[in-house]
Amino acid sequence: MELDRAAVLVTGGASGIGAAAARLLAAGGARVAVVDRDADGAAAVADDVRGVSVVADVTDPAAMESAVIEAERTLGRIDVVLLNAGRTSGQSGYDRFDLENYRQVVGVNVDHVVFGLASAVPALRRAGGGTVVVTASLAGLVPMAGDPLYTLTKHAVVGYVRAVAPSLGSEGITVAALCPGFTDTALIANAKAQMRDFPLLSADEVAAAVWRVVEHGAPGECWYVQPGREPAPYGFRGAPGPAGGLRAPEVTWDLSASG
């Protein structure tokens, strides 16, 4: 995809990876809508990139839909969507369980992706196709024992991306995921002291990987990003099938059925 004059929507765009991606894509000629619940932060980044800011709670389906509609109206179309908002949980899920915190991390990391994709697909169809990049995490490819609930949400996102990609890809809409390792943003601020000399990615490095996925990514790919390595699609191993070499059938469920 050519980014020059492309219309891009970025969630979680007020800081961290989202802000870095907004700035990099704008520098490449894209027109950017910065979506965040932080009104001042979103406005500041939008001013930097000569884009537009949209205030929205990405865990609310109606707000996510309104954000896409507003961005499409302002920019004229939507070509690229970066579903980037995310948060850690700071709990295991089995000791001192905090239900409100659990709902929040699932809302931002999972619901936001589902609501965001559901809202973006109609706009991308109107544009004749486009690209959706979901910021997952290396914790979506391997377990992160320090935050099991975060791991749960990122594994869910990776599975969702891989499952929706084939059918949307046939419509010219590429859905892919980005799986960065530990990145020096506010998300890891509380744990950074424990990492000592462990190499961290910068937000700019992850933003550069976003650009590569937009330009070169294929439907369903999940690109890892690690310090000192070139970003690349992760090679998933297939699960064993039934004995005898039989392949599982492609099943289309009747989604109107209940029970």
Question: Could you tell me the residue ranges of all domains in the chain?
Answer: 7-233
Closest-CA residue to 12 (of 1, 3, 24, 20): 20
For the CA atoms of the chain, what is the radius of gyration? 18
The verdict on whether 150 is a catalytic residue reads: yes
CA distance 202 to 136: 16
CA distance 242 to 136: 31
Q: Please pick, among 94, 102, 150, 234, the residue that the annotation labels catalytic.
A: 150
Per-block mean pLDDT, blocks of 10 residues, the chain (259 long) = 88 96 97 98 98 98 98 98 94 94 97 98 98 96 93 98 98 97 66 66 92 96 95 92 76 58
> So what's the architecture of 7-233 in CATH?
3-Layer(aba) Sandwich (3.40)
pLDDT, position 123? 98
pLDDT, position 259? 46
